[in-house]
Each structure stands twice: as C-alpha cells, then as structure tokens.
Amino acid sequence: MRSIALLTSGGDAPGMNAAIRAVVRRALAAGCRVFGVHHGYAGLIAGEIEELDTRAVGDIIHRGGTILRTARSEEFFTEAGQETAIEQMRRHGIEGLVAMGGDGTLRGALALHRRGVAVVGVPATIDNDLAFTDVTIGFDTAVNTALEAINRIRDTATALGRTFVIEVMGRHSGQIALVAGLAGGAESILIPEVPYDLDEVCARLLRGRERGKRHSIIIVAEGAASGLEIGQEIEKRTGLETRVTVLGHIQRGGTPSGRDRLVASILGAAAVEVLLAGRSGVMVGIRGEEWIATPIEQVLATPRPLPEAWIGLAEVLAR
Ligand code: F6P
C-alpha cells in the first residue's frame, strides 16, 4: 500500500487530532503518501482531499476538535454517494482509508469495505458506546470535563442546600453518566439502559436530607430523560429547591486528557499497520496496553457491555 487517506466523521471527540497525527506519521514512516479528507464522508464525495506531510500535523496533539473538520453525511449512505466517493479515491490514487468516529462512521466504513475498498475504523466518540475496545477516543476527556462541572456545581449546591440535576451527553448510551456519576459522588444516576423509578429517586433524596445531607446531585443521561423535566418533577414531588444544568457540547471540546492522547496515538498507528498488513473491514480497539482488530460487522452487532452494578455502588457510596 503506497497511499492512505484519513477522515473524521460524525461528532468530533477530543483526541481525534492526536489520532490524525499518529496515522499521518506512522504512514509516512512506512513510506506511504498520506491524504487528509476534509468534512468526513461528505468531503470524500466532494473531493475535499489534500496531501499531508509531517509538519501538517505538528502542534495538534493537545488540541480538541479535528483539524480535518467533520460532518454528518446522508448522501454517503446512498449508492450514488458511495460510488462517487470511491471514484474520488481512485482519482487521487488512494489505496486505503482510515475512518475515525462513532457507529455511523463505522457503518460508512463497512459499506466501503463491502464495495472492495480497503478501510479501517478507529473508534472516536465521547459516547463510549462501541464494543471491542476498552474505551473510545474522547470518552475520558468528556468524563473529566463533566466531573469538573460537577465539582463546581457541588460548591454552590452545598452553599444553598439545593438539589441539582445535571444532564450529560451520550446519545443512547449511559456511559458518561455512569462514570461521571460514580466518580462525581452522585446520589442517583439515570441512564437509558436501566429503568428507573422517580419515586424511589425522590424517596432517596428525602432520606438523605433526614440523615443531614446538605445537597444532592443527580446525573441524568440525555438518552434517559430530559434533565429539565426530571428537575421539575423532583421539585414538585419533594418540595426541595432544585436547579438543572445541561452540560451539552462543553463535553465535546477541550484539550484531550493524557489517556485519550495515549489511546489515540496507539490506535492511529495501529490502523495504518492493519492496512499495511492487507486487512480491511476491521475496527482497531484498545485492550489493556495492546491494540486489537475486530471485524466492523461484529462491532456493530454487539452492544457494549455496561457495568450496571455501578449505579447501586454510587447510591451506597453517596450516603
Ligand atoms: O455522539 C456524540 C454526541 O455528542 C452525543 O453525545 C450527542 O447526543 C450528539 O453527539 C450531539 O450531536 P450534535 O453535535 O449533532 O448536536
């Protein structure tokens, strides 16, 4: 393989730039030409492709977002869109593609693989909703951003003796809520994967107040419920003064954590090694300190296991 392209697609995630740097420099070290595709699959269709050298990815390892920009493309999921994308790759002499992003990006990668394109996926999404990797790139930073916000809210919650509902991102996944909730000392964590009983949440709040608790923090995953509605309902049912904070896109930005940069560097380089070894249609993932490669079909068909027991643990520890 003499020429590799890479793109970032879907929601950006902190650490994507570190992964881009790793792909480019690992491929250059192997003697390949490297092309960056701007705006994800939409840019592949439109031919927004430029050659990258080692300096093009200098000074980006610590930056959030993605220098290649990103997009969500519906056109790519049409036959005509995919044919045009493949034609663009041919025109530029591109023999392999690295696609970074979440499940939508992997679906796109699988479509290309089925059409005979050599393609490897790199899991990068704050949602951490993919199986066959300990973690997706961006998750650790998003959790730490949420934790910083929770710490700050805790100060004012204690000062005024209030209950706070904090809504976090994650789309259909409760991973950010679960980890930020447990590590942030939340009293209740509501996630889409586990049914919750709001009466029980309220009863726990009131029991806490009886024990002398001065404030309460409840973490709601956006996929479970609207934080605003939960906050209003809690105030109505308990009479406790309640405030709501929706963290939103703050969780997507910022300098990537050390862990995200490490995982991104390992997986970006691994994606190139997989292509050089002649494999295609796989996602690279991290397992401990090693990387693994799993067929994308299998990744998409496997729900990510969730440590549900952590909800109960958070409740016990928040006494
Ligand atoms: O998939 C990443 C994510 O940030 C989700 O957590 C969230 O639901 C979604 O993207 C938001 O998408 P958008 O940036 O298009 O509003």
The pTM assigned to this predicted structure is 0.97
Catalytic residue status for 53 = no
Quick check: CB of 170 below 6 Å from ligand 1?
yes
Contact (CB, 8 A) for 70 and 43? no
- Beta-bridge mates of residue 287: 290
Residues 214 and 286 in one domain: no
Which residue bears the tokens 């001065």? 214
Residues 127 and 9 in one domain: yes
Q: Is there a domain that residue 307 lies in?
A: no
Residues 238 and 276 in one domain: no
Q: Residue 189, Cα to own-chain centre: how many angstroms? A: 19
Question: What is the enclosing helix (H) or strand (E) of 7?
Answer: strand 3-8
Residues 20 and 36 in one domain: yes
What domain range includes position 166?
139-253
Quick check: CB of 45 below 6 Å from ligand 1?
no
Phi, psi of 158 (to 5 degrees): -65, -45
Residue 267 CA, ligand 1 centroid: distance in Å? 22
Q: DSSP character for 302?
A: S
3-state SS assignment for residue 118: strand
CA-170 nearest atom, ligand 1: 6
d(CA 137, CA 124): 4
CA-127 nearest atom, ligand 1: 6
Q: Is there a domain that residue 308 lies in?
A: no
Atom 12 of ligand 1 has which residue's CA nearest to it? 11
* Nearest one of 3, 21, 20 to 100, comparing CA atoms: 20
CA distances from 50 to 92, 126, 313 (A): 9, 27, 50
**pLDDT for res 154:** 95
Atom 15 of ligand 1 has which residue's CA nearest to it? 11
**pLDDT for res 318:** 87
CATH number for the domain harbouring residue 219: 3.40.50.460
Write the pLDDT tens digit of every residue in 51-110.
999 999 999 999 999 999 999 999 999 999 999 999 999 999 999 999 999 999 999 999
Tally the domains of the chain.
2
Contact (CB, 8 A) for 256 and 147? no
Residues 113 and 169 in one domain: no
Contact (CB, 8 A) for 169 and 248? yes
Quick check: CB of 136 below 6 Å from ligand 1?
no
Among 253, 288, 313, the domain boundary falls at 253
Which one is catalytic: 12, 103, 127, 260? 127
- Which of 127, 129, 178, 250 is the pocket-test mutation for ligand 1 (most atoms within 8 Å of CB)? 127
**pLDDT for res 214:** 86
Residues 86 and 200 in one domain: no
d(CA 103, CA 77): 13
Residues 26 and 127 in one domain: yes
- Which of 171, 251, 304 is the pocket-test mutation for ligand 1 (most atoms within 8 Å of CB)? 171
Which residue bears the tokens 């404030």? 215
3-state SS assignment for residue 145: helix
CATH number for the domain harbouring residue 75: 3.40.50.450
For the chain, 319 residues long, give each residue's pLDDT as a single digit of tens: 999 999 999 999 999 999 999 999 999 999 999 999 999 999 999 999 999 999 999 999 999 999 999 999 999 999 999 999 999 999 999 999 999 999 999 999 999 999 999 999 999 999 999 999 999 999 999 999 999 999 999 999 999 999 999 999 999 999 999 999 999 999 999 999 999 999 999 999 999 999 999 899 999 999 999 999 999 999 999 999 999 999 999 999 999 999 999 999 999 999 999 999 999 999 999 999 999 999 999 999 999 989 989 998 988 998 8
Write the pLDDT tens digit of every residue in 240-258.
999 999 999 999 999 999 9
Residue 159 CA, ligand 1 centroid: distance in Å? 32
Quick check: CB of 177 below 6 Å from ligand 1?
no
